[in-house]
Amino acid sequence: MFDGVPLGILVGAATVFGAVFGSFLNVCILRWGAEPKQSVVRPPSRCPRCGHALSWYENVPVLSWLALRGRCRGCGLPISIQYPLIELAVAAIWGGMVWWFGAGLAAVAGAVFFTILLGIAVTDARAYLIPDEFSLGGLVVGLVLAALAGWSQLLVAALGAAVGFGLLWLVAVGGTWLFKKDAMGGGDIKMMAMIGAFVGWKSVLLTIFLGALLGSLIFVPLTLAGSKRLVPFGIFLALGAAASYLVGPEILEWYGRFVIGA
């Protein structure tokens, strides 16, 4: 479809697209993470402090924040740097995926997947919850993208979703039995089903392993230091999933060669 178009132009276009998606992701994070949950369509973007409705030129990804010097035109109070940072991150994700995979289905799948992972990580960090819109919505998108790639891809994705869901469900049930309290939220379980749909069943195992490893590296010292902080486990699963997606086969091969000796 994009034959003859220089890669630089495609990457640039994907980056601009990404910034716009990032702007929408900000809205999703804020409204799906709110209690009660709010619509991401209505009302249009406004300043959370004074209600000043944003005109189009106050709503341009990254550039508006810079032009306004990070302050609302209505009340003059600071606008969180989270907005331009997420726009930049999603812009980099979309540009990077096209640069890595070339313009095609693989790049779209990777970009959608990483955008959802970022949304989950930030929402989990802010509100300690993983909205179904990201997990279950992402699961549906992941299965559809896999189906577009062919029947065998769809089978791998469906297996991945089942393994991710089933394993984390077992961990949750086992943890509840062991610690006599809920060790893991339902959000994490649904999130792993979504991840499985994008990475397949092998990398889903790797994701859980990496997520648990990262989580304990950070959580155990915190607990020993007496912190009662909740652990947004979704962040660690998101990091594990991103690593599995990009270098999963390499890690598994290394593991097979050096650890199992196969």
Residues that bind Zn ion (CB under 5 A): 47, 49-50, 52, 72, 74-75
Between 75 and 144, CB nearer to Zn ion: 75
DSSP-assigned letter for residue 130: -
Q: How far is the CB of 126 from Zn ion (least distance, A)?
A: 20
CA 54-25-104 angle, 5° bins:
125
Between 37 and 49, CB nearer to Zn ion: 49
Between 78 and 249, CB nearer to Zn ion: 78
Q: Which amino acid is at 133?
A: E
Q: How far is the CB of 1 from Zn ion (least distance, A)?
A: 43
CA distance 45 to 22: 14
Q: How far is the CB of 32 from Zn ion (least distance, A)?
A: 22
Helices (H) and strands (E) in the chain, counts: 8, 0
Q: How far is the CB of 54 from Zn ion (least distance, A)?
A: 9
DSSP-assigned letter for residue 41: S
Q: How far is the CB of 44 from Zn ion (least distance, A)?
A: 14
Phi and psi torsions of 251, nearest 5°: -65, -45
Coil, strand or helix at 127: helix
Between 27 and 89, CB nearer to Zn ion: 27
CA distance 15 to 7: 12
Between 54 and 214, CB nearer to Zn ion: 54
CA distance 207 to 244: 6
Give the pair of three-digit tokens for residue 235: 């962040």
